[in-house]
Amino acid sequence: MQQARSTSTARMKEQMVKGYHQQFVKPQLFALIISGLLPPNSCSNSWWKSVLYDLYTAMSFMFHIPFLTLQTMGVYAYWGNVPVVAGIIFQMTVCFDGLVILIYFTYHRKHLLRIYEMLETEFLPYIRKVGRYQNQDTIMRESTKFSNKMNKILMIIFVIMMSAWCIYPFFDKQWSHDPEKELANNTTERLHFEYFILAMWIPDNAFTFPTYEIIYACQCFYVWSLVTCFTVGNMVPSSIFYGIAIQFQLLSAAIRDIDYICIDFKANLMNEEDSTSSGTTFNSNVADTEIGNVEKLREPKQTYSSTDRFQLNPINNVDRRDTACGDVIDSADWPALYANRPIFAENMYMIECIKYHERLLK
């Protein structure tokens, strides 16, 4: 019965972690897909989908070359105009940063997926052995809900800002640009960078149809891909750090749950003292007896190497004749273990928490 209950609890914890993890990484994976950094799962099953997505990523690469070239030409052409040159150099710096992020995450696609998978599976063996299912479920649910809410807010703000940046110059040109009026007022020498998304070298016929529409469409695609890579590239490490922070929350809750999982040893001694009649063994004798039992449990049964020092296993390190530990699978086994060896159960539980903490620090 105890073994079945332990297996059921372990299975519930595993399903809980995997279910919440899929909800946690869903916004990040969606952002990576639309930015061209990571192909969706459907591309692995379809050849033409994979080719189209690789083409989309390649276009994001290739568009950097002509625009960085035109921006360099703009710096040279407008060198005497300090505000214009400073604006172009700033945009070139941001574009180069986005190019570096695109190259890095595209080259490390598999490693990125491995990190997200590790957050799901790496800490499962430790979560099974410590903590209460109810507390862990609450922490995972609230943390995942908060993360998804913040990611959605960030993506909504991103879409609004990008739409305003990319759409407003086009409508401004349609409403404000009047060649005949500018010719009459002798204002044709203005550069009119406000009609474009990026400041760069502009040809003489840049405002005629269809030259303006072609330049504007190319800039719109380039800036959308650039800023998406820039935003997602900064969102990926923050999501990974937040995922590790959730694990620390689970560990902290597991340490606090020791009072619920393992019965307090001092309370047992007080109850035993109050319930006994005359001739009862005093607390000091009971404590000495328990300490003796613990020391007996601590006596080595065999020689261990230095590599096994922090791999304490109740099956290997403790003789079954001295304790009723059995096969400790998860936190559901701790009450049964505590029935015969209270101090030993608490020590074992804290050792599992320490091992969980050591893995998080790695």
pTM reported for the whole predicted model: 0.67
Kindly give the residue spans of alpha helices, DSSP state H, lying in 257-302.
Answer: 258-261, 265-275, 283-298
Nearest to 293 by CA among 327, 343, 350, 348: 343
Res 331: pLDDT: 58
Res 13: pLDDT: 84
Contact 151, 28 (CB under 8 A): yes
CA angle 182, 177, 214 (to 5 degrees): 125
Structure tokens at 7: 């297996």
Contact 248, 131 (CB under 8 A): no
Backbone torsion region of residue 319, taken as left when φ is above 0, otherwise alpha when ψ lies between -120 and 50, otherwise beta: beta
Round to whole Å and give the CA distance between 114 and 135.
Answer: 28
Res 314: pLDDT: 38
Round to whole Å and give the CA distance between 356 and 350.
Answer: 10
Give me the tens of pLDDT residue by residue for the chain, a chain 362 residues long.
555 566 777 778 888 888 888 888 888 888 888 888 888 887 878 888 888 888 888 888 888 888 899 999 999 988 988 888 998 999 899 888 888 888 888 888 888 888 888 888 888 888 888 888 888 999 999 999 998 888 888 888 888 888 888 888 888 888 877 776 666 666 555 677 888 888 888 887 888 888 889 999 999 988 888 888 878 877 888 888 899 999 999 999 999 888 777 654 445 545 555 555 444 443 434 434 443 443 443 444 444 333 333 333 333 343 433 333 333 445 555 555 555 555 567 788 888 899 999 988 87
Q: Specify the amino acid at residue 354.
A: I
Q: Specify the amino acid at residue 112.
A: L
Task: Annotate 67-118 with DSSP letters as a single string.
Answer: HHHHHHHHHHHTTT-HHHHHHHHHHHHHHHHHHHHHHHHHHTHHHHHHHHHH
Helix or strand run (H / E) with residue 211: helix 211-256
Phi, psi of 205 (to 5 degrees): -95, 30
Res 271: pLDDT: 58
Res 292: pLDDT: 42
Q: How many CA atoms lie within 13 A of 358 on its CB side?
A: 8
Res 296: pLDDT: 40
Round to whole Å and give the CA distance between 199 and 59.
Answer: 21
Radius of gyration of the chain from its Cα atoms, rounded to whole angstroms: 32
Round to whole Å and give the CA distance between 239 and 144.
Answer: 11
